[in-house]
Structure 1
Amino acid sequence: MERAPDLKNPLKGATSRPQRISIIIIILFHAVGLIGCSLPATDILFLKLVPWHLLLMTVIIIYNHDQLRGRFFVFGLLIFVIAFVAELIGVHTGWLFGNYAYGETLGTQLFRVPLMIGVNWFLLTYSTGVLLQRSRIKSRIIRILVGALILVLLDASIEPMAMHFDYWHWTDNHIPLKNYVCWFGLSALLLFVFDQFKFKPQSKVASVLLIMQFIFFMGLELLN
């Protein structure tokens, strides 16, 4: 698998052709998705494609991970399981996040929780972890806390559109403060797991995905 030639300088831009193509795909699919979800004539179709979009982004992330070994898949599975269990607790008890229920947009559900939500948490955790690898923050604790704050900010940009597009729904359409507190706590836990695996610095592909998530949901709010 081709990788960036300058591995001694992980802060340098993505230089390999596969990385450039991956970045183009990420930007293109988010841009097309933003337009498609914002047009009344196509929004239903594009919402049905959301699970497939998440799977495509997962394939891109896996392909671009340098030194793809078994421990990477162990990491992915661990993130999926922790996040899925947290969502199970949240949906069925309200102890985490608050009182909410998932709609149909995220696809197939197990015990009323979409399987894609675990995949999404993997994408968010990995992308944020890689972004912070590329930062100048040396302290592990500060990196984790900053990363958790970034993901809370992302959730804040998602929430206005989540109910509109049937991602999930809150009781009385009220988003409790507990949701953001729990997002911060779960994000910090998952980023701690990421840090424990000590992956070597990765290319900017995952960071671009995280940035496009912000742009996508903020764009949806402006256009809807």
Structure 2
Amino acid sequence: LTLGVMFWFHKDWNKNFLVFAALAWFLGYGSEVMGVHTGFPFGNYNYGPVLGIKLMEVPLMIGVNWLLLIYLTGSILNRLINIDWLAASIGAITMVSIDYAIEPVAIALDFWSWEGGIIPLSNYIGWFGVAFIIHMIYRKLQFKKENKIAVFLLANLVAFFLILNFIV
């Protein structure tokens, strides 16, 4: 639903945007497939049944999550920062911070589980690396990156997980 709302407010459906959306989904999803099967770049973990249909042991929804988070953080930072590597770095740090809030909820609700029940530091380092690469792609491809509802959607997503941290 959030992805649909985000797309509804996106106004520049050119080839570069479609390339970005496809790459964000495939790189995010692909990094998770690699992670589940090799432990790199995030550590050793497995997905539970909650996130829906899986392909290669990873829910297809995970690619949507990567696309959504990159686009929302990228859209917000695009208005604030003109230097690509700096915006990509801050975007990646923001995404690691969001993942930090998501992890306890995700584990409690069986989205995924970590080997030994411990979230490894490699998870956050991996999130930074993957997010940085996809953010750089977002920055380099030419399409209008303004989305009037991006701040609201990202704030809503973060609030959702922060509140759930006190409930689950």
| Fold match (TM-score > 0.5) | yes
Please tell me the root mean square deviation across aligned C-alpha atoms, in Å: 1.2
Q: Is the 8 A contact 2:17 2:142 kept in 1?
A: no
2:113 counterpart SS class: strand
Alignment match, 2:146: 202
2:119 to 169, 172, 175: 175
Which one-letter code corresponds to 1:120 in the other structure? N
State percent identity of aligned pairs.
39
How do residues 113-192 of structure 1 correspond to structure 2 at under 5 angstroms?
Answer: 113-135=58-80, 137-192=81-136
> Is 2:19 aligned against 1:74?
yes
Alignment match, 1:103: 48
CA distance in 2, matches of 1:74, 1:182: 23
How do residues 57-68 of structure 1 correspond to structure 2 at under 5 angstroms?
Answer: 57-68=2-13
Which one-letter code corresponds to 1:176 in the other structure? P
Q: Is the 8 A contact 1:131 1:204 kept in 2?
A: no
What is the number of residues matched between the two proteins?
168
CA distance in 2, matches of 1:203, 1:91: 33
Deviation at 1:116, TM superposition (A): 0.5
Q: Is the 8 A contact 1:88 1:111 kept in 2?
A: yes
2:46 counterpart SS class: strand
TM-score (ref. length: structure 1):
0.72
CA deviations over 1:176-214 (Å, ceiling 9, x no partner): 000000000001011001001132241331222111111
Rg comparison, structure with higher value: 1
Which one-letter code corresponds to 1:143 in the other structure? A
TM-score (ref. length: structure 2):
0.95
Unmatched runs of 5 consecutive residues or more in structure 2? none
